[in-house]
Amino acid sequence: MAIWKVRPLLQERIWGGRNLEAFGRSCPEGQKVGESWELVDRPEAQSVVEQTGQTLGSLWRGSERERIFGRRAGQGERFPILIKLLDAEEKLSLQVHPPAERAKELGGEPKTEMWFFLRTQPKADIYVGLKKGVGRAEFEEALATGKVADCFHRLETEPGAAMFLPSGRVHAIGAGNVILEIQQNSDTTYRVYDWDRKDGAGQPRALHVKEALASIRWEDVEPAFVQPRGERVLVCDFFKITRWWLMPGEDREVVPDGGTFRYLFVADGKVRDEGGEEWAKGAGRLVTADHGSLILQGVEESTVVQVEFV
């Protein structure tokens, strides 16, 4: 029974900035930090529990998987969810993740994900799905003429908004967005266009046009933001996300559920746990499935996002 802090893994990105410092991340001097991997079990990256020094992968593949992660953890080789913070100081590439039915033949992994917007600059937006009237022929013609961005549906963002991105939904994060991203454990991305941007060595960044065209769901037209039902933001095949609010001095009971772990993230404000420890904005905690009832109290007006298995 435990509440664990997990060490974030900062990732430099050409489109990143330093906005994650406002969420408690220490960005190395001179680096553009685009991602903070909060909960990850990948061959190339492992979350480490601060209190024990154990990796997420060793806990997942150990003898106490059900006790720690719950009865609904499943039998997969790796922890199936990856959680990140993203700082899009500049816009990202126009891209797509392969749907499950195409991923294997393309040599990749499917990735369904959700974006929860933490901070947005005025007029910040996202590119998501296709405009009405755009099919594969129109898309390929726009690619050839350098106008493919005109094929995308665009939406202005604001803090608290959420966007669901099933595998196959073509998308890009526009400049000026800080996002909590919850996704399947995958790192397959097919870039279809990158604004003629150069990498650190002055070379054009690699594109994956053939794979992207094979992955895009062409019927996916003009999607809307998620419309939460009360505290429930989203339930999909891979995760469940809820969001709740606390006023100063207000208590919230996190009711135990032996079927799943909980990952709690303070999206805004500050809360205090039963032991008196304060969780500031940007704090994340992994609560094991066997943990009993947990009481959190608002220190400031706060928003907490909870991630768990379905």
Rounding to the nearest 10 degrees, give the CA dihedral for residues 16, 41, 308, 216: 60
Residue labelled with tokens 């003629």: 196
Listing DSSP states for 66-94 in one string gives HHHH-TT--S-SS-SEEEEEEEESSPPPE
Residue labelled with tokens 């298995």: 309
Q: Tell whether residue 171 is among the known ligand binding residues.
A: yes
Q: Which two tokens stand for residue 156?
A: 């202005």
Catalytic residue numbers read 191
What is the CA angle 231-236-238, rounded to 5?
115
For residue 306, the SS3 value is strand
The Cα–Cα gap between 86 and 64 comes to 31
Q: Tell whether residue 153 is among the known ligand binding residues.
A: no
What is the CA angle 253-256-259, rounded to 5?
145
Residues forming beta bridges with residue 253, ordered by sequence position = 295
Amino acid making up residue 233: V
Are 272 and 297 a contacting pair, CB within 8 Å?
A: yes
Q: Tell whether residue 113 is among the known ligand binding residues.
A: yes
The Cα–Cα gap between 262 and 68 comes to 10
The Cα–Cα gap between 70 and 258 comes to 5
* DSSP assigned state of 220: -
Residues forming beta bridges with residue 173, ordered by sequence position = 126
Q: Which two tokens stand for residue 230?
A: 């009360």
The Cα–Cα gap between 186 and 16 comes to 20
Per the annotation, binding residues for Zn(2+) are: 97, 113, 171
Per the annotation, binding residues are: 97, 113, 171
